[in-house]
Amino acid sequence: MSRLTTSELQRLDSEHYLHPFTDFKQLAQRGARVVTHADGVWLTDSDGNRILDGMAGLWCVALGYGRKELAEAAYRQMLDLPYYNSFFQCATPPAIQLAQRLAEVTPPQFNRVFLTGSGSEANDTMLRLVRRYWQLRGEPERNVIIGRWNGYHGSTVAGASLGGMQPMHEQGGLPIPGIAHINQPYWFERGGDLSPAEFGLRTARELADKIEEIGPRRVAAFIGEPVQGAGGVIIPPETYWPEIQRICDHYGILLVSDEVICGFGRTGRWFGCEHFGTRPDLMPIAKAMSSGYLPIGGLMVADRVAQVLIAEGGEFYHGFTYSGHPVACAVAVANIDILRREKVIERVREELAGYFAARLRTLAEHPLVGEVRAVGLLGALELVPDKPSRRFFRNRGEVGTVCRDLCVANGVVSRAVRDTMICAPPLVITPAEIDELVSRLGRALDQTAAVIAREGWS
């Protein structure tokens, strides 16, 4: 395949391949960027360009590209046992070992996992397991799960329903029944004259209002990402999560911390809930669990939930052919072992997070940048026409798209969420590579400003 030219690959791609989250018509006109190789934090495309991957693939390649130990773990497991399932009282050694490793690295209340093939499947599992839990507790009317507008919990029917992406809802008659949404803690957009601390409290209290509106005996759980990723790296004010935890405790509802992006070190802690000090009952996980080398996800289930499911017995009619896939599990075990052995997460917390935030903040001086946010190795830049007013460009999304394309032209991948530029590089990035990431972003910002001036956008 690698001998095909870029234009041959693009032609075959547009004739045969429907991409996820893609305008098919536009892609056919422009042609896909084809990535052929990668090493460390660097991608190589089919024209030989080297691009710094500021998004760790899709927030997943924690250990960077080209880790031989992960490839070897997969190869060895493929020879020993490429597939067997965990249905009907079976198991495989890698699935058991992974479950044990996960119990060790997650907060103490978690000792059990339900394995899936992705983060979306983890959230589907969560929805079904939460409803079963309340049935077993004798409160079947407790079936409503509250999420947040602009949250992202996957693209399956349940995942997209739990998420609050309105364009996704509109395309598919979603959300499904029994799901409600409250506002997100996005101070830059919605904070007005409130301080971030006041705004954090006020937004969290919308959860209590929603519970009262639905009826406290009908609400099963609240789900949120510690930091909203796909929604634009929305880092909540410090007051937000403690108040959410207090409200969940007060009403006795389950707290679900969707750790698909924040899990396995992204914030500088193993899990985002540890950064914000919450005590979740359930944690969907995926992505950096295997550094994205093979697809895998899972749902961590806290003891107080698991004990009910186990003590009451009865079959949970749920599972996937690839739940606990032995090769994916072997890679996830090797990935977790490397994260621990090389102290990758400690290094993010103690060395890289501060440096990354400081370097990114240098871009706050840029005339286009209204706010810089950073936590761990998650960063965001708000591009605005008029800094003091925190007003967005009239045609939201236009400037972000231009900037994203200019980032790639300058050899760095950064994702645009509307006009918010976000980055989440591999956790193994070096300080010198952070310098490179920020200087390339800076060049793309200058060129974006020139386009805005030329087009007269405001």
The number of helix segments (H) and strand segments (E) in the chain equals 18, 15
Phi, psi of 4 (to 5 degrees): -70, 145
Region of residue 59 (phi > 0: left; psi between -120 and 50: alpha; otherwise: beta): left
Segment interacting with ligand PXG, rule: CB under 6 A, options 100-108, 119-127, 171-179, 380-388: 119-127
Does residue 418 touch ligand PXG according to CB under 6 A? no
Rule CB under 6 A: is residue 157 a binding residue for ligand PXG? no
The distance in angstroms from the start CA to the end CA of the chain is 45
319 φ, ψ to 5°? 160, 165
- The structure tokens 């590089």 sit at 425
Q: Write the interaction track for ligand PXG spanning residues 53-72; mark x where CB under 6 A is met and - where it is not.
A: -----x--------------
Nearer to ligand PXG, 200 or 229 (CB): 229
- Rule CB under 6 A: choose which of 54, 57, 94, 154 binds ligand PXG: 154
Select the residue interacting with ligand PXG from 220, 261, 273, 353 (CB under 6 A): 261
Count of residues binding ligand PXG (CB under 6 A)?
18
Among 67, 131, 148, 153, indicate the residue that binds ligand PXG (CB under 6 A). Answer: 153
The span from the CA of 154 to the CA of 174, in Å, is 13
Q: Which of 186, 191, 198 is nearest to 148 (CA)?
A: 186
- Binding ligand PXG by CB under 6 A: which of 131, 132, 148, 415? 415
- Of the pair 92, 120, the CB lying nearest ligand PXG is at 120
SS (H, E, C) 250-282: HHCCEEEECCCCCCCCCCCCCCHHHHHCCCCCE
Contact call for residue 344 and ligand PXG (CB under 6 A): no
Give 47's Cβ-side CA count (13 Å radius). 9
Q: Which of 46, 106, 120, 239 binds ligand PXG (CB under 6 A)?
A: 120
Q: Name which of 223 and 452 has its Cβ closer to ligand PXG.
A: 223
Considering only CA atoms, give the Rg of the chain.
22
* Residue whose Cβ sits closest to ligand PXG: 119
Q: How far is the CB of 261 from ligand PXG (least distance, A)?
A: 4
Side-chain-facing half-sphere of 425: CA atoms under 13 Å: 29
Chosen residue from 57, 229, 298, 324 binding ligand PXG by CB under 6 A: 229
C-alpha angle 451-400-41 in degrees, rounded to nearest 5: 110
Q: Determine if 127 is a binding residue for ligand PXG (CB under 6 A).
A: no
292 binds ligand PXG (CB under 6 A): no
- For the bound state, the minimum distance from the C-beta of residue 153 to ligand PXG, rounded and expressed in Å, comes to 5
Q: Which stretch binds ligand PXG (CB under 6 A): 64-72, 257-265, 334-342, 441-449?
A: 257-265
187 scored as a contact of ligand PXG (CB under 6 A): no
Q: Give the C-alpha separation, 365 to 358, whole Å.
A: 12
Residue ranges in contact with ligand PXG by CB under 6 A: 58, 118-120, 123, 152-154, 159, 225, 229-230, 258, 260-261, 286, 297, 415
